[in-house]
Structure 1
Amino acid sequence: MRIAQLANFVGPASGGMKTAVQTLGAGYAAAGVPRLLVVPGPRDRRTATEHGDVVQLRAPRVGGGYRLIVEPWRVGEVLEQFAPTSVEVSDKATLWPVAHWARRRGVRSVLFSHERLDAMLSLRTGREVGGPGITAPVSVLNRVLARSFDEIVVTSDFARRELQQVAGAAGTTLHRVALGVDLETFTPPDDRAGRGAVLRLVHAGRLSREKSPHLAVGAAVELHRRGVPVRLDVYGTGPHRDELVALAAEAPVTFHGHVAGRRALAERLGRADVALSVCPGETFGLAVLEALACGTPVVTASYGGARELVDDVCGAWGRPGAGDLADAVLALAARPEHVVRSAARARAEVFGWDRTVHDMLAVHAGLRPAARDVPAAGAPAGRTA
């Protein structure tokens, strides 16, 4: 087996997708599978790493720290040299033509669907999922993707529901493979203080509209308005930082910017009382697992992939509005601290990266991943589309 991973990401702005692609690549290499990673960059470059070569292709910047490979035929030239038995594509915008290259050569093609298109467009445009301007273009692209790839991998039931019908119609196998969390880096701090007079909240993520940081800040503002002693620490950068600062106004919200180092982020997550990871369009929610692994309970939206990761002991949820999310924070904070922190860590331990790598290797081999006994988080409430 020889696996080529293709992804349109560059820099710290790429968040969960970058973590997933790189961690899977390290897992493939550890299993003895030759692996190549192709990503965009400011110039052409090839670098040898312990996890296989990384080929950077010159690509234009499209804003917000992202670059996009817009010449997929150049990817084909790189793949010809590597001769993969399987290609894993983690982008739906410009890399899907690689699936046709793979089909012509008898190479297995796997789409790793990291986002749900209708939810992402809804968050970016403010239009309702299923409304005008969302359904038609998303349906067309999803049909094209389903017909192009041999296998599609999704990370949650929320993500699966978007693609299940078109994949079935195209005869394309749809797999659900949960992502994992680094349980050694993200771990409860030894010197964590217990709850004090001020409720310590934390939000970590990209400050862009499709990640819904406005909901996290809005919940903190609402708690402050109600007279609850609260503090929200926000870690991350993004194009909507100024909007969020204005939204916070006089509320005790501190924007710390990007945190250098995952262990440093883990320490900050672990010292909070409640983590806010409230985007209703997330297809999985690595930020949820990272907080839980640090023993910090999580409030999330009442629908979306992130909701599937928390149960009613280690987390709480509310409809995506400041008032409902503030209520969820108070309900979670009222539970016994030692119970929720222990439950949070236990929940995260279900999602080790080793099982994700094992399942993805099965997909690349043309097999179905083994059924996993994962304790259910409970049926998500609200929207199911």
Structure 2
Amino acid sequence: MRIVQLANFYGPRSGGLRTAVDQLGAGYVARGHEVILVVPGAAPGEEVLPSGVLRITRPARQIPMTGGYRAVDPRTTADIAEALRPDVIEVSDRLTLRGMGAWASRRGVRSVMISHERLDRLLGQVLPASLARTFADVANRRTAQSYDAVVCTTAFARREFERIGADNISQVPLGVDLDMFHPSRRAEGTRSRWHGSAQRLLVHCGRLSVEKRVDRSIDSIAALVDSGEDVKLVVAGDGPRRAGLERRARGLPVEFIGFVDGRVELASLLASADVALAPGPHETFGLAALESLATGTPVVVSSSSALADIVTAECGGHFDDTAAGMASELMRVMDLAPGARRIAARTRAEEFGWPASVNGMLDVLEYGRLVDPPLSWGHGGEGSTGVRRREGTRGAAAAACGGAGDALAR
């Protein structure tokens, strides 16, 4: 197949979406397909990535107050797609590129939309809940009607489409690079570099935007310090709220290190932390949290997000969307036996590999649905990822986490 991936909110620092698009594209190429990715940028360009994907960059203006995101004019995107003559388009933008579904239908081209966010939750940040739900339902109904298939990564993300009775929804979990994000990246040198004299190192990795609720991570540190805990928080990431968050953290053991460009450095930071924080209540998958788990670091997450379906009490915890609740859960997780919590974290992450995600997406791209869903991809009920545990991963995770893990696994 010639697969054309379209993504407007894709840039050098766009985090999870860029990771997902790149990993899926690389997987498609590895299975013999031709992949072309069209993205916005400051200047035009064409580049064959190491994965074999041809990335076409088209000039686009920055969108105000988004921290540097750009968006190619949909008409330009349509013209490029026309020239590329795809067999199928994969769209990762529910806002500016939703109309590409109708474009594809008129030309007999298959179309798939990946839903990377919960629209009702995002609108709910600026609108009353009932109004946000109404607007989201209208937009989602049009999306489902325009595309051959819509892919959601979790049951949490799927619910807003089930609410409107859409029947062309497939659930394909995203994955994590289990080789890059590995417990072996843990290094005392990295720990001492970041935590200084503090006994416990916490990390928040993600974009510094309002929906990520970095303020709750900062406020939980204040609560821990007030209770006498010797902790330090490292915030890895950048975004439009950085200046305000730095003011909020003044006087607290919080260090902002900006966007971490190197994946090895990021993996080492995550592996060297005691606990990772993911307080965003609207996460539909949360790749940074999954990368933390893969390194053997437990994660404390919002009970309102899809991550609450992924993180168990053994490999992290859930909190009630308050700073006090987050601080309490952080204490519980930090009090777990270090070897046991690291084994549990790695074990959970091993259920989410990119190869299975790629296979599932190729089913949807070619046939509009999952042809033969693996046993680990059940539909999932309320509060479920739809992923069941694989047998035999605990021993592998114990080996990955080292000698202490071997002893605890027995």
TM-score under structure 1 length normalisation: 0.91
Moved over 6 A (4+): 194-197, 375-379
Say which of 178, 184, 187 aligns to 1:189.
Answer: 184
Structure 1 339/369 Cα, relative in aligned 2: closer, same or farther at 3 Å?
A: farther
Deviations 1:261-280 (A, max 9, x none): 01101101111111001111
C-alpha distance in structure 2 between counterparts of 1:375 and 1:273, whole Å: 30
Say which of 121, 124, 146 aligns to 2:123.
Answer: 121
Structure 1 378/294 Cα, relative in aligned 2: closer, same or farther at 3 Å?
A: farther
Cα offset, 1:375, TM superposition: 9.3
Larger deviation, residues 196-205 vs 157-166: 196-205
**Equivalent runs, 1:374-385 vs 2, <5 Å:** 374=376, 380=383
The equivalent residue for 2:208 is: 207
**Superposed CA RMSD:** 2.2
Aligned AA (1:23): Q
C-alpha distance in structure 2 between counterparts of 1:60 and 1:197, whole Å: 43
**Equivalent runs, 1:29-48 vs 2, <5 Å:** 29-48=29-48
The equivalent residue for 1:308 is: 309
Do structure 1's residue 155 and structure 2's residue 156 form an aligned pair?
no
Say which of 52, 65, 78 aligns to 1:76.
Answer: 78
C-alpha distance in structure 2 between counterparts of 1:101 and 1:380, whole Å: 35
Deviations 1:271-323 (A, max 9, x none): 11110011110000101110001100010011211212211110111111100
**Equivalent runs, 1:219-298 vs 2, <5 Å:** 219-298=220-299
Deviations 1:25-48 (A, max 9, x none): 011111110111111122333333
C-alpha distance in structure 2 between counterparts of 1:60 and 1:136, whole Å: 31
**Equivalent runs, 1:161-172 vs 2, <5 Å:** 161-168=159-166, 172=167
Do structure 1's residue 102 and structure 2's residue 112 form an aligned pair?
no
Q: How many residues align?
A: 373
Structure 1 217/346 Cα, relative in aligned 2: closer, same or farther at 3 Å?
A: same
TM-score under structure 2 length normalisation: 0.86
Structure 1 81/324 Cα, relative in aligned 2: closer, same or farther at 3 Å?
A: same
The equivalent residue for 1:341 is: 342
Aligned AA (2:75): W
Structure 1 12/56 Cα, relative in aligned 2: closer, same or farther at 3 Å?
A: closer
Do structure 1's residue 145 and structure 2's residue 143 form an aligned pair?
yes
C-alpha distance in structure 2 between counterparts of 1:37 and 1:191, whole Å: 34
Aligned AA (1:22): D
Structure 1 unmatched runs, 5+: none
CA contact (8 A) 1:296 1:341 kept: yes
Secondary structure of the corresponding residue to residue 208 of structure 2: coil
Structure 2 unmatched runs, 5+: 385-410
**Identical-pair percentage:** 41
Secondary structure of the corresponding residue to residue 13 of structure 2: helix
Structure 1 313/373 Cα, relative in aligned 2: closer, same or farther at 3 Å?
A: farther
Say which of 75, 89, 99 aligns to 2:91.
Answer: 89
The equivalent residue for 2:320 is: 319
C-alpha distance in structure 2 between counterparts of 1:217 and 1:103, whole Å: 47
Aligned AA (1:5): Q
Cα offset, 1:371, TM superposition: 2.8
Aligned AA (2:35): R
The equivalent residue for 2:68 is: 65
